[in-house]
Amino acid sequence: MSGRRVLVLNGPNLGRLGSREPDVYGSTSYKGLVEECTRLGGELGLAVEVRETNDEGELIRWLHEAADGSVPVVINPGAFTHYSYAMRDAAAQRTAPLIEVHISNPYAREEFRHTSVIAAVASGTVAGFGIGSYRLALRALAEELAG
């Protein structure tokens, strides 16, 4: 890997992509997501490292790692999006761009999904484009880093 280091962080249940509600999240597997992010990152001159966890504390530690190293982040917090103030506080410590992503469009789903506690401290949010949300976020991040 060469280029600017970028973390793509994924929260709960995202490791089950491809088998979890394919009508909502599509048929791409988590492995396919990792491959796509890594491939596109390389094209954009980014050294992308993709991580996934079901543990809120681990995601918070990764956000601290990114803040301490001025590492840009693309994050899909999963369900933590809607209620994890601890994650919001960790994301607020960012020292580089942070883009929130969602595979589905939260506003087209259940009402509890309409609130993101992360959005207010993110550089931007991309949602509703399936795995393409990650591609759009990585492209936006590359542009922001170049500008």
State yes or no: 75 annotated in a binding site: no
* Residue 22 CB coordination number (10 Å): 11
State yes or no: 104 annotated in a binding site: yes
Cα dist from 67 to 27, 36, 44, 73, whole Å: 33, 25, 22, 9
Q: Enumerate residues 6+ apart whose C-beta is below 8 A from 142.
A: 44, 45, 46
Q: Which of 85, 102, 107, 134 is catalytic?
A: 102
Q: Is 145 exposed, middle or buried (CB count within 10 Å of its CB: 0-12, 13-18, 19+)?
A: middle
State yes or no: 20 annotated in a binding site: no
Query: In the annotation, is 114 catalytic?
Result: no
Query: In the annotation, is 102 catalytic?
Result: yes
State yes or no: 82 annotated in a binding site: yes
Extract the tokens encoding 2: 């060469």
State yes or no: 84 annotated in a binding site: no
Q: Which of 25, 30, 83, 114 is catalytic?
A: 25
Binding residues: 76, 82, 89, 103-104, 113
Please identify every residue annotated as catalytic.
25, 102
Binding-site members for substrate are 76, 82, 89, 103-104, 113
